[in-house]
Amino acid sequence: MGAVPGDTPVALVTGGSRGIGRACALGLAEDGYDVVINYVGNRAAADAVAAGVVARQRRALVIQGDVGSEPDVLRMFGAVDGFGRLAVLVNNAGVVDVAARVDEMSLDRLTRMMRINVIGAFLCAREAVKRMSTRHGGQGGAIINIGSVAADLGSPAQYVDYAASKGAIDSMTIGLGREVATEGVRVNAVRPGLIKTDIHASGGIPDRVERLAGLVPMQRGGSAEEIADSVRWLASPKASYVVGSLITVSGGR
């Protein structure tokens, strides 16, 4: 699946083995990108996504790595360099934790949350800019960060730390977008609302979408593919004048 580099542009999807990341990887393959799928723990799931990419007549490369670890990020981008020209980064990898009040949160929890969700996104964006920016000899590209409407809602008594980490992603998107706007790099974010993915189970509330669907004006949760559709648009030439934008995909919530 990791064939000789060609002329086809490459999309890197962090946390690409499941949920929104999986939908983005498969969707971008349909749009003509070769796809690098980053995962942290579930190799079988990542391989299944890679098989889906290959079934769409595109090349796939699977890379294990923790985005919150600088050595892992450098190794991952080094592998991307050997695979092809990076044109799209989907900064999707992230974590939640079990529901808790702020006065119950440990330093370890807070450090993990910010290391992966914020520092990890910065590290990946940094390396992507070094490869995409015309200032660095690149041909341009698109960085799409996955934020969350939690940044607006605050997620009280559940995970204020997660909401705060996604607020940081909003700020990074706006600032970095303006910083590299003249260098051929478009930076934007998609902010999902209540989406049917496994992340709710990892936060200890596997039926969260069903519980909260009534709070959504559309009266339902969204799908990973509905988020991926917005990511695919932002990656495409159809979004050529879109920079530093936060696109909320939440059913009105």
Catalytic residue list: 162
For residue 12, what are the β-bridge partners?
Answer: 36, 89
Angstrom distance (rounded) from CA 195 to CA 225: 10
* DSSP at 195: B
Listed in sequence order, the DSSP H helices in 31-105 are: 43-55, 70-83
DSSP class of residue 58 equals -
- Residue 57, C-beta contacts closer than 8 angstroms, at least 6 positions apart: none
Cα separation values, 162 from 110, 145, 167, 186, Å: 9, 15, 9, 25
The CA distance from 147 to 231, in Å, is 12
In order of 72, 92, 144, 220, the CA distances from 114 in angstroms are: 17, 14, 19, 30
Q: Residue 161: how many CB atoms within 10 A of its CB?
A: 21
| Token digits of residue 97 | 């934790």
CA distance 115 to 215: 31
